[in-house]
Amino acid sequence: MGAAKQIVRVNVGGEADVPALERAPTERAIGRKVLPIVEGVVLVAALVAPLLLQDYLTVFATRVVILALFALSFDLVWGYAGIMSFGQALFFGSAGYGVALLARDLDITNIFLVLPAGTIIGLTFALLLGGFLLLGRHPSSVIFVSLGTLTGSYAADRLARGWYYLGGQNGIPSIAPMTVGSYEFSEGPAFYYLVLGILVVVYLLCRFLVRSQFGLALAGLRENEQRIAFFGYKAQHLKAIIFAIGGAVAGLAGSLYAFHEGFVWPNMVGVVVSTQVVLYVLFGGSGTLIGAVIGAVIVEGVSFWLSDNYRDIWPIILGLLLLLVILFRPLGLISFVLGERERVGSFGARPKKTEKQTEKHSLKEKRNAAP
Amino acid sequence: MANAFVAAFEILSFGAIIVLIVLGLGIIASMMGIFNFAQGEFVLLGAYITYLAYAKGLPIWTGMVAAPFVVGALGFVLEALIIRRFYAAPIVAMLGTYALGLIIRESVRGLIGGFYLTVPEPIGGSIDIGAMHISAWRFTIIVITLLVMAGCYLLLSRTSFGLRVRATLENPALARASGISTPLIYGATFAFGAALAGLAGALIVPVFSLFADLGLRFLIQGFVAVMVGGVGSFIGPVAGAGVIGTLSAALPWVIAPVVADVLVFVLAIVFIKFRPQGLIAGKGV
């Protein structure tokens, strides 16, 4: 975050980017309402869910919330910066394996140690892989990055399967529960609210991040990388930073997942989970944080519901739905309720305006600010 | 000496299988600039058709002959209906073909259940050279791969259809202006790539047996091979496939298989990073 801010401070030249929204207060008042409502509804639903659900469903809901956190990490990378990471599970799973090893070999289960450890593992792997794939003298092509991450994830899967220390095919079973002092987090409402709290905090941090000037630069990267480079941004550095942040969030999610499920297995670093998270975000709507959360909830929810009765055909339906979404709703399900303008949103601190300031004035200001 | 020969044969036959799979992948990637995630499932379909022929009591070779045509026809239809929309956006194409692959894979999984189904080799037994025995079927695969490679090369370099394909590859706008129907060429290329995958699936099913994740196993190896070889030419992906196939088969003889497996991928990615254009740069045959 520190590095991110520094870049923004160096590169952003004044308040040149007053979004169109700011100039149309009436339209803004109409257009601005939907996103906070959607977010509020989801939050309230998440808060009351354990009160309404049976115990085994609360356990399932906890898993979904963790996966939503994971989806958030992919959305940051793909939805905001336009980096296709087909290997997001690498960070998710390696953090899971890392905390599982901590718990197995060193008996460390303290929540204040394992969660930061998982986050750092995710961050480190993302820095290494992202640094290698994204940085360098020649900018990497999108195809190379996506296939590189995919290959990384696949290779990690193969490694985990073959490495006896990591448990081979079976992974690491029966991980001890997370602890705070003498209290043990086992599956249930306590774990659920812990995870939900973490999700909300991370969500707010991400929201702040993507609505900052850094987020604006990222969105520019997604839309037209070359133009952002011409503006003097170091596009590759921005990408590596957001990739590392995404890896850290994925690592946090992975360590929670490992403790919640109580075991880790090779699929967790592999292609299956990597593509799963892509599905969540595409369904929900990439480029909006809440879309990622909703996507995870819907895909997992429907999958849970259908897999009882239609276990065999559910993956086929999922494939068909995915194809339909890609063809006809590239912005995901969230685009049914959210307008394009609100999806893009506004960035940075709100400029201080006097009441008399007119559209003309702000236009003039814009012209002056531009070099 | 005998061991070394057997090892060389194993390496060669595995390399041939990878070449066969990568050929279709490479042609589609070079031509349309999209990486077809459904290619592995085309391989799977080819294998499944061969199994069907066997299960219905027909001679196995009828299934093997039918597989490329059926899969190619399916590829043609899919290209016209769906893939065509993705040409402008390579990432979306990956996701879209992934979805297609998911549908095909899970359908086949539903049809065969979670089993490993075996199909006998149409040409059984072994060829004896002195004291050494090599599998006759694997030898046949190598021969067919060589024939297919030669056929593809001749098709692209000697026929007027090949000329049109190369023209579309090098400069689509000029090709269109010269009266070449580029959508048709694209469709035909995609169908051809799919047919090659179907053939690959049909040929390898006696070796690997049939299971739903058969194609997935080769997909990533194929992608890496295409990128190592270089997108844009016919010979590039073939060279890449040769390198990757040989490495994957040869390294486990030297170092621990787990490390070898991962090392191939790491080496490949590092190579591509520092030579993005691949082993053989440039467009054309």
> Are residues A293 and A283 in contact, defined by beta-carbon separation less than 8 angstroms?
no
- The pLDDT value recorded for residue A263 is 86
Q: Which residue of A has its CA nearest to B228?
A: A144
Partner residues linked to A184 by β-bridges: A179
* Nearest Cα residue to A259 out of A105, A122, A103: A103
- The pLDDT value recorded for residue B1 is 60
> Are residues A93 and A264 in contact, defined by beta-carbon separation less than 8 angstroms?
yes
Asked, for residue B93, whether it belongs to a domain, the answer is yes
Contact between chains at B273 and A136 (C-beta distance less than 8 A)? yes
- What token pair was written down for A71? 């989806």
Contact between chains at A327 and B227 (C-beta distance less than 8 A)? no
CATH code of the domain covering residue B264: 1.10.3470
3-state percent helix, strand, coil for chain A, nearest multiple of 5: 75, 0, 25
Contact between chains at B261 and A327 (C-beta distance less than 8 A)? no
- The pLDDT value recorded for residue B256 is 80
A180 φ, ψ to 5°? -125, 110
A136 φ, ψ to 5°? 125, 175
Asked, for residue B284, whether it belongs to a domain, the answer is no
ipTM of the complex model: 0.84
> Are residues A323 and B100 in contact, defined by beta-carbon separation less than 8 angstroms?
yes
In order of their start, the domains of chain A are 18-349 (1.10.3470)
Report the C-alpha gap between B63 and A25 in whole angstroms: 68
Total CB pairs under 8 A between chain A and B: 100
B126 φ, ψ to 5°? -140, 160
Asked, for residue B207, whether it belongs to a domain, the answer is yes
Report the C-alpha gap between B175 and B180 in whole angstroms: 5
- What token pair was written down for A94? 């390696």
Contact between chains at B100 and A319 (C-beta distance less than 8 A)? yes
Asked, for residue B285, whether it belongs to a domain, the answer is no
* Residue corresponding to tokens 């308040």: A15
Query: What H or E segment, with its residue span, contains residue A223?
Result: helix A213-223
Domain residue limits at B161? 2-274
Report the C-alpha gap between A197 and A36 in whole angstroms: 18
- The pLDDT value recorded for residue A10 is 36
Report the C-alpha gap between A338 and A69 in whole angstroms: 21
Q: Where are the alpha helices (DSSP H) in chain B?
A: 2-32, 39-55, 60-81, 90-112, 136-158, 160-170, 172-177, 182-208, 214-229, 235-254, 257-274
Q: Are strands B126-129 and A178-180 parallel, antiparallel or unpaired?
A: unpaired
SS3 B284: strand
- The pLDDT value recorded for residue A23 is 43
pLDDT in tens, chain A (371 residues): 334 433 333 333 333 444 444 444 444 444 457 777 888 888 888 777 777 777 778 888 888 999 999 999 999 888 888 888 888 899 999 999 998 888 888 878 778 888 888 899 999 999 998 888 888 777 778 888 888 898 888 888 888 888 888 877 888 887 778 777 777 777 778 888 888 989 999 998 988 888 888 888 888 888 888 888 888 888 888 888 999 999 999 999 999 998 888 888 888 888 888 888 888 888 888 888 888 898 898 888 888 887 777 777 777 888 888 888 888 888 888 877 777 777 776 666 666 655 544 455 555 555 555 44
Kindly write down the DSSP assignment for every residue of A166-205, as one continuous string: GTGGG-B--PPPEEETTEEE-TTHHHHHHHHHHHHHHHHH
pLDDT < 70 positions in chain B: 1-2, 130-131, 282-285
Contact between chains at B269 and A151 (C-beta distance less than 8 A)? yes
Report the C-alpha gap between B90 and A20 in whole angstroms: 31
Report the C-alpha gap between B254 and B243 in whole angstroms: 16
- The pLDDT value recorded for residue A4 is 40
- B interface with A, Cβ–Cβ < 8 A, is 35, 82, 85, 90-92, 94-96, 98-103, 106-107, 109-110, 216, 220, 223-224, 227, 257-258, 261-262, 265-266, 268-269, 272-273, 276
Contact between chains at B258 and A158 (C-beta distance less than 8 A)? yes
**Probe site for chain B from A151, A274, A277 (most B CB atoms < 10 A):** A151
Query: What H or E segment, with its residue span, contains residue B128?
Result: strand B126-129
SS3 B210: strand
> Are residues B196 and B68 in contact, defined by beta-carbon separation less than 8 angstroms?
yes
Number of domains, chain B: 1
- What token pair was written down for A231? 């503006």
A185 φ, ψ to 5°? -85, 105
Report the C-alpha gap between A178 and A103 in whole angstroms: 9
